[in-house]
Amino acid sequence: MHVPDGFINAPVSAAAGLVAAGAVAVGLRGARQELQERTAPLAGLVAAFIFAVQMLNFPVAAGTSGHLLGGALAAILVGPHTGVLCLAVVLLMQGVLFADGGLTALGVNITVMGTVTVLVAYGIFRGLVRVLPRTRRSVTAATFVASLMSVPASAAGFTALYAVGGTTDVPVGKVLTAMVGVHTLIGVGEALITTATVGAVLAVRPDLVYGARGLTAPLKLRVGGELVDVAPAPVEPVAARSTGKVWITGLAASLVLAGFVSFYASASPDGLEKVAADQGFDKGAEEHAAAGSPLADYGVSGLTDARLSGGLAGTIGVAGTVLVGTGVFRAVRRRRDDRTRETV
């Protein structure tokens, strides 16, 4: 759902940029509390993984594809504030290096794809885990519903911006119906990918899932007709548990997805592109300012082999995103540590 330049006029794009800047500022402040020394590198990995999976467009209807937005995944794995930052890093890398999503529309994309998805998904997720039994199955179920709902919510967010600042005269009602309809289908794919990923991490390292912290209910046994808590078995201290294996596995998976599996992604236009073409508001689209980038359109300029070009571009994107993301999150964490020492 990367919005190109020209769909939304300059004043509304600028206003969305201010909203996005505010969301990033709040994210930076809140991430200081969410990030721990051992999880800061994992936040960079989550950004890289989202970048990789966004390259894997999947078919949702005749001539239409979709891809992961990632707001729910980031919020549940590393926290809502850090999640907004993850999406901001991904969208910045995509817009600047790969000409995916307009540069003047960067604020629109961070608002719609990063902020709306995170807020909606995490709000629904927290509401569900509070009323469901405190188990891993509940976390998984809440993840599915939250990620599913976040995608049409993002589509509705785009439509709201279009209603105020659209550069064409297509009726807003038609845009809303088409956008929410196709993105509800895309939301099913989003939910399956997000649930599978969160479930995989829960199975091996539940302590690394932000949304699952403190959710495990104590085991109970019936003694003399009454249920009593069973003392938990001794476990290795969380602080002592290395995240190295998880980091290496996640990075390897991201590289494989972006560098190899992405070649087999659907070539059909995504939901926004298809709706824009069908409804006629793609006429306002402008050429991307970075269209001449050596990595534009996820290919390496000068390489004629499509498989090699796309795979190398994806690999560069994953590597760049994990480096930038890890650097940002380490800096955020270091800033928190510095402030802590100043107050001691």
**Does 220 map to a domain?**
no
240 has a pLDDT exceeding 60:
no
In a domain, 226, yes or no: no
| Both tokens assigned to 169 | 């005269």
In a domain, 51, yes or no: yes
Residue 2 belongs to some domain of the structure:
no
Q: Is residue 54 part of a domain?
A: yes
Strand, helix or coil at 40?
helix
Helices assigned H by DSSP within 9-79: 10-34, 40-54, 71-78
The answer to whether residue 21 is domain-embedded is yes
Q: Cβ(294)–Cβ(93) under 8 Å?
A: no
Nearest Cα residue to 8 out of 152, 85, 110, 79: 110
Does the CA dihedral 193-199-203-205 come out positive or negative? positive
Confidence band, pLDDT 50/70/90 cuts, at residue 236: very low
Q: What proportion of the chain, given as a percentage, has pLDDT over 90?
A: 79
Mean pLDDT of 237-243: 59
Give the domain extent around 130: 10-213+243-343
**The tokens of 171 are what?**
């009726």
77 belongs to a structural domain: yes
pLDDT at residue 277, rounded to an integer: 95
Give the confidence band of 343 by pLDDT, cuts at 50, 70, 90.
low
Please state the pTM of the whole predicted model.
0.91
Count of domains forming the chain: 1
Range in 124-138, 251-265, 306-320, 330-344 the model is least confident about: 330-344
**CB contact at 8 A, 282 and 102:** no
The answer to whether 83 touches 119, Cβ cutoff 8 Å, is no
Rounded alpha-carbon distances, angstroms, from residue 22 to 84, 99, 156, 322:
11, 24, 20, 23
Confidence of residue 134 (pLDDT cuts 50, 70, 90): confident
Q: Residue 129: which pLDDT band, with cuts at 50, 70 and 90?
A: very high
CA angle 123, 325, 256 (to 5 degrees): 95
Using pLDDT thresholds of 50, 70 and 90, give the confidence band for residue 119.
Answer: very high
Q: What is the CATH number of the domain that holds 96?
A: 1.10.1760.20
Judged by average pLDDT, the poorest of 168-172, 237-241, 299-303 is: 237-241
Averaged pLDDT, 136-161: 97
Q: List, in sequence order, every beta strand (DSSP E) within the chain.
A: 58-61, 64-66, 220-223, 226-229
Q: Is residue 31 included in any domain, yes or no?
A: yes
Quick one: pLDDT at residue 39? 74
